Chains A and B, each alone.
Chain A
């Protein structure tokens, strides 16, 4: 039982990382109807940026106060990753509006290959491990049960929740969010009433990248290691989360992320010999099953094909 709750907490930590990435997928899909295949690699890139900023602050500048370092890493990571994603959108996706149906997706696949290989070439193919941070363990006593959590898990959940609240406010309460929702519903109509569609789409990519950067920093914090190939699996799983929650739906992305995180961690607890290794198969199967039987997901709107 204790172990189960322990794994539940681990699952939620992992799930909040997936949820943050999934928002990027779901927003871009909502606004331009494209699967941003490179988003997983943007996440990986942001994890590298976080790692390097962290090393720069602690090793080169010799800062020791970790909470401050964490805040700077988050801010720097979000900014730099946003610049990356803005450039990617500008160069690889914007010229393709109005091209044939599969063009943006193929371009995104090319971008994904490019990004992971770019990081491999510039940073080397080996794993990049750092010493664990916030590794102190806190114990919570509930009657007979003792639940122990690492500080970093609390940090991850706290940061995620804070940023989601800010993000929610941004989308629901500001004119920017209104423009974005307008573009999502009808791009041509939004342009007619004076919404700068190109700018709104750019900002969508920037917000997606910023949230992916938070996920990247949290990933480094949680696992303490990052590799150039790390964008692929989390990317596909986060996409699964977005699909499961209903693509285009923001709360759906978070719910889907948490569910995928939980399913993945709990799957590993199945005691049968040989089953835990198939945790990726479980995630991929959820993706396929959702798309085949429930394409609008848990919270999404059914898609109507217009001629």
Chain B
């Protein structure tokens, strides 16, 4: 097929093939939609030829465009460049972190100044806090996937362990959030070790599947062990976060009253924002520092070549286990924050889809790149929050595509999945693909010929 795609005729032929294949792909699943009839309750087929025509046309012209213009995606080398960052990239990498940090710290103040306390609530809560939770989860998983190269599909299990640890400790023993937070993290890390110990001998894809299995086991137990976890109904009225014992509520001994302010819900939200910001930055700091320690170097070496590591005398099981446990620890912290912010948890929040979302963030951000993960979380989570509010998009979908029940959250997984595939094909190392190595030679040094056999070393 590919012999004469240079000529226009060949390109047309190729495009026709692409269109034909697309037609066959669309025939059953897009052309007909099986819907229950309102009266009889039986399934009836709705005919949607226009949607099929649109897809076929897209495939035809898309393929034609690719072939005629030569719109080939640039191949990215699978082996990253090694060396200190140079030129513009160096400036970028030095400047981006302080600017980003400044932005994150100032963000709530800016929003409150701009929109007033009432209008800012949404921007701090569903954008700021929500995104930061995912940034933290992404950074936590990045230790496991990005640094140690262990594909963990059950990360959400540790998130769940953290959330349920806080909830159950707070409800049953009346402990405050700040006492429960480290306990929840440690419990999650313990679970990470318990699960990790037997499975970490397995090779990459087996490990992924087993972690997936463990994630599902934990979720199934949470669903079915009603006495322990409240089952599918979940647990509500989880104690709220406190500031040195002061509650964020409209009461006499609350935070606002203590400091002589009028009660406003924004104070609690601001506090939560800075708490999750602190937790996320803690994750980042620990990761960055550990990368420079022998253990961090061992993680990255392990990611590149396990057999070489073993032959160099690195204890691979212990190295993997520390990465796994540390990732789980931060997952647990994020989980207990999630519980205290939400005030309600149920196994619904800890499905495999959640794991896949976090993994998508790490993969799209560039495995191993901290900044990349943060940007991916902002783009993906923030982007979908925005999509949710686009009224005109809803109207457009309803009038032109017949999608009356258009709901952007359904498209979330669609786009995440698609983006993951495209990313693997086009830029397998993620958006931000250069990894600054933690150690490199500052300059080439000549070694005397007496020291090495072949002259210069």
Binding site for B on A (CB under 8 A): 34-35, 45, 48-49, 51-53, 55-56, 59-60, 76, 80, 83-84, 87, 91-92, 95-96, 98-107, 109-126, 128-131, 232, 236, 239, 243, 274, 277-278, 280-281, 284-285, 287-288, 291-292, 295, 305, 307
Contact = CB atoms under 8 A, between A and B. Distances in A.
18 contacts: A55-B34, A59-B43, A106-B359, A106-B363, A107-B421, A109-B153, A109-B420, A110-B363, A110-B419, A113-B413, A114-B414, A114-B417, A118-B29, A118-B414, A128-B36, A284-B214, A288-B199, A291-B210
A291 B360 contact: no
Interface stretch (B215-223, B332-340, B440-448): B215-223
Interface in B404-448: 405, 410-414, 416-421, 423-425, 428
Given A52-B29, A96-B428, 13 more contacts: A55-B34, A55-B45, A60-B45, A92-B425, A98-B78, A102-B205, A105-B205, A117-B413, A117-B417, A123-B33, A236-B213, A280-B216, A285-B217
Nearest to A108: B421
A267 B60 CA distance: 51
B428 A100 contact: yes
B16 interface: no
Given A99-B78, A105-B205, A292 B199 contact: yes
Given A100-B428, A281-B220, A128 B30 contact: no
A39 to B, nearest CB: 12
A102 B352 CA distance: 19
B416 A128 contact: no
B393 interface: no
Contacts of A116: 413
A107 B420 contact: yes
Nearest to B24: A83
Interface string B352-377: 11001001100100000000000000
A100 B429 CA distance: 9
A110 B417 contact: yes
What does DSSP make chain B's interface, helix, strand, loop or mixed?
helix
A293 to B, nearest CB: 9
Given A45-B29, A84-B25, A87-B25, A126 B36 contact: yes
B414 A106 contact: no
B44 interface: yes
A113 B415 CA distance: 9
A291 B209 contact: yes
B35 interface: yes
B216 A236 contact: yes
Nearest to A119: B29
Contacts of B21: 83, 87
A81 to B, nearest CB: 9
A72 B33 CA distance: 19
Contacts of B424: 92, 96, 99, 103-104, 106-107, 110
A117 B414 contact: yes
B453 to A, nearest CB: 25
Nearest to B418: A114
Contacts of B35: 124
Contact of B202 (A104, A236, A295): A295
A65 B375 CA distance: 58
A113 B356 contact: yes
B419 A49 contact: no
Interface in B39-53: 42-45
B413 to A, nearest CB: 4
Nearest to B224: A277
What does DSSP make chain A's interface, helix, strand, loop or mixed?
helix
Contacts, number: 194
A223 to B, nearest CB: 14
Contacts of B202: 291-292, 295
B416 A110 contact: yes
Contacts of B414: 113-114, 117-118, 121
A102 B216 contact: no
A122 B33 CA distance: 7
A295 B202 CA distance: 9
Contact of A307 (B36, B307, B419, B428): B307
Most buried by B among A102, A118, A295: A102
B401 to A, nearest CB: 10
B208 interface: yes
B32 interface: yes
B149 to A, nearest CB: 7
Nearest to B206: A291
A172 B350 CA distance: 44
Nearest to B221: A281
Most buried by A among B28, B32, B45: B28
Nearest to A84: B25
Contacts of A104: 424
A104 B417 CA distance: 13
A295 B417 contact: no
Nearest to A233: B216
Contact of A128 (B34, B153, B217, B419): B34
A54 to B, nearest CB: 9
B204 A102 contact: yes
Given A60-B45, A278-B220, A114 B413 contact: yes
Nearest to A129: B43
A243 B213 CA distance: 13
Contact of A105 (B29, B151, B413): B151
Contacts of B206: 35, 291, 295
B198 interface: yes
B45 A125 contact: no
B65 interface: no
Contact of A305 (B78, B307, B421, B428): B307
B151 A102 contact: yes
B212 interface: yes
A114 to B, nearest CB: 3
Contacts of A109: 153, 356, 359, 417, 420
A278 B418 contact: no
Contacts of B224: 274, 277-278
B115 interface: no
A102 B29 CA distance: 30
A122 B425 contact: no
Most buried by A among B24, B30, B206, B419: B206
Contacts of A117: 410-414, 417
Interface string B222-248: 011000000000000000000000000
Interface string B53-76: 000000000000000000000000
Contacts of A102: 149, 151, 204-205, 208
Contacts of B78: 98-100
